[in-house]
Amino acid sequence: MEESKRSAINEEKKWRIEYFNEINSTQKYLIKKVKKEDLNYYCIWSEFQTNGIGTHKRKWIGKRGNLFFSFVVDINEFNFVPMQSLSVYFSFLMYKVLKKYNEKLIIKWPNDLYILDKTAKKIGGILCNVVKKKIICGIGINTKYSVGLNEKYEYGCLDIDIKNDKILKNFLELVDKKILWEIVFKEYNENFEKNRSVFGIKNRLNNDATLKGE
């Protein structure tokens, strides 16, 4: 499905932010755009995505009202983050933003967000690609409705009375701070150790957030 008509571009500080009423995939769209244009600090977002992608090339089902966005930054500006740890880094930034609104939020290694309430229910995920020395990061969050990849997985939603554009704004502001990897990893690892038994993970983490022994 082709993208719907877009709203006007919004300029906020150094970020160029563009909203789509409807889009097939923010990640696919932005990868295609980066191959043609020299972009940096550029973000597109929507509340309805028709053909999103999850990890392992699985489809992420979209429902109008949830938050879907992708952004691009120059890889040289984030060279303090190990290349293999980019999705971990940005997933933790989103975790920091959302944790203020729901204390039940946890991270499943390496980059999925869950609500832990008797059982763990997935509410979102982060996917990073590097194209032409640009980091393209896509994030999907079930802010309002519980949908996901397919029916055999159990999904939840954040269920908070906060507008999606505010969540996005808070996240991009945190990206701007360029928090050092060592600081992010310390907090990420504390979260990992606290919750790894929930997901049956036995291994501990190396300093780049990869699993030891793998």
Give 91-102 pLDDT, tens digit per residue: 999 999 999 999
Which of 72, 89, 175 has its CA nearest to residue 130? Answer: 72
Name the pTM for this structure: 0.89
Domain-located, residue 1: no
**How far apart (Å, rounded) are the C-alpha atoms in residues 214 and 9?**
44
Domain-located, residue 4: no
pLDDT over 70 for what percent of the chain? 86
Give the range of the structural domain holding residue 170, as residue numbers without chain letter: 10-199
Domain-located, residue 78: yes
- What would the mean pLDDT of 173-196 be, rounded to a whole number? 97
Helix (H, G, I), strand (E, B) or coil at 70: strand
Question: Domain containing 90 — which CATH number?
Answer: 3.30.930.10
